Structure 1
Amino acid sequence: MAKTRLYIARHGKTMFNTIGRAQGWSDTPLTDEGERGIRQLGLGLKDAGTTFKAAFSSDSGRTIQTMGIILKECGQESIPYQRDKRIREWCFGSLDGGYDGELFFGVLPRTKAFEGGKSINEVTYPELAESIVEVDTAGWAEPWEVLSQRIWDGFTAIAKKIDAEGGGNVIIVSHGMTINTFLWLIDNNREKISLDNGSVSVVDFADGKFTIEKIGDMSYRHRGQEILENEKA
């Protein structure tokens, strides 16, 4: 049986990413720069000879748009593609669409999890989730137990499906905090890092267990950028 390997990409840069707004369950399309970055990713994956058995994304417009570009540039538009709402971004509730600075450096630092002057990087994902629930006046934000379970279930279902079909590579497009949460659930001793748009994290699945191989790899995008620049020359 072939190895089951998940190539998990963060979607391309969007309008809200560009102007520093918390996107969450709200949605904006990729900018021209964002589309170009994902073209680079697709070309880099193709140049590396990476082929996929299937494709999965969240049901958000920005991940669907990203996947379309990747598969086109890879020349793999005919592979099975499914959307799964379980791998959506975190929901910021009533603060969805607000400015990042206001949310992460204004409102949330006044919650219990930040007592004692903790910084955003010192707060754990479970604490951060509960902080968002604490300040969400709409009641839409998910408690950590619900949030973490849906993310874990989403990625696990994909891995098990591919594994049951004999293994292989799968391309997944999801969101920065969702990907980071999944990686943290696999290994909660690792440091939090910011994942760039179009970065790829690679996770293997075998004997019911996940193993992290790469986090936030930008080499495919860099190779794709070289290819595009050579085409112009």
Structure 2
Amino acid sequence: MKFNIKVGILLTKTLYLMRHGQTLFNRLHRIQGASDSPLTEQGIADAKRVGDYFKRHAIKFDHAYCSTQERASDTLELVTDQPYERLKGIKEWEFGVFEGESEVLNPKPDPERQSHGDFFLQYGGENDFQVQDRVVKTLTAIMERPDNQQVLAVSHGGASFMFLRRWLSMDEIKRRQIRFENCAVFKFSYDDGKFMFESVHNLDDPE
């Protein structure tokens, strides 16, 4: 933990990792990845609801970030009007030639890695560990910045899933019934290069 000697208090760093709002491809059940599609009316409305949720609970951010994809930056701009930085490291999992195709073409999970594993590598995409490593590296770097105490980062479903998998086992994710819905907000505490999952808020959850 960071200790402020001057005022004698313990400062806990906090990351709020949010998935973008619903997009056209989400609604059509198409694989999105590195490609992009616009937010739907529901996606816009839901992002605004998250902004209202933060206001009601007096949750404020000293810095905000999003991926380089428009669906993430558009979501962030609906949540808050504060300045932000776009980061390639938290963009969505790349699925190669499968992007834009129906989600029914997604492979069954690798039985050992309990994810898509290496499947998309042969089609010009990424594997699970590549996604996880870049997301963890990027979010760790921003939380290590001295003036970053309470941070908002808007990313994507696959990227957020692989980030969470670094800190929780798949069995634990299932036990806690953690969902990766559009506009889900994952709260993590951060200390000494490690994140600890605290909670997740979906729009239909009770407050």
TM-score normalised by the shorter chain: which range applies? 0.7 to 0.9
CA offsets per residue over residues 47-97 of structure 1, 9 Å max, x none? 1111110000000000000000000xxxxx24x411101101101101011
Task: Tell me, in whole angstroms, the C-alpha distance in 1 between the residues paired with 2:134 and 2:25.
Answer: 24
Identity of aligned residues (%): 29
**Structure 2: gaps spanning 5 or more residues:** 5-10
Match of 2:185 in 1: 200
Counterpart check, 1:92 vs 2:73: no
TM-score (norm 2): 0.85
Residue 159 of structure 1: CA displacement? 1.2
Determine which structure has greater relative contact order: mean sequence separation of CA pairs < 8 Å that are 6+ residues apart, divided by chain length: 1
Match of 2:14 in 1: 5
Structure with the higher fraction of residues in strand conformation? 2
| Corresponding pairs, count | 194
C-alpha contact (below 8 Å) 1:199/1:221 kept by paired residues: no
C-alpha contact (below 8 Å) 1:58/1:85 kept by paired residues: yes
**Structure 1: gaps spanning 5 or more residues:** 72-76, 224-233
1:157 to 138, 141, 147: 141
Residue 222 of structure 1: CA displacement? 6.5
Task: Tell me, in whole angstroms, the C-alpha distance in 1 between the residues paired with 2:24 and 2:193.
Answer: 38
Match of 2:120 in 1: 132
CA offsets per residue over residues 178-225 of structure 1, 9 Å max, x none? 11110101123523544111110001101222111013x1259866xx
C-alpha contact (below 8 Å) 2:183/2:203 kept by paired residues: no
Counterpart check, 1:211 vs 2:201: no
Structure 2 matches for 1:1-233, cutoff 5 A? 1=4, 2-71=11-80, 77-78=81-82, 80-101=83-104, 103-104=105-106, 108-109=107-108, 124-125=114-115, 128-134=116-122, 136=123, 140-161=124-145, 164-165=146-147, 167-189=148-170, 190-191=172-173, 193-215=178-200, 217-218=201-202
TM-score (norm 1): 0.76
Residue 148 of structure 1: CA displacement? 2.3
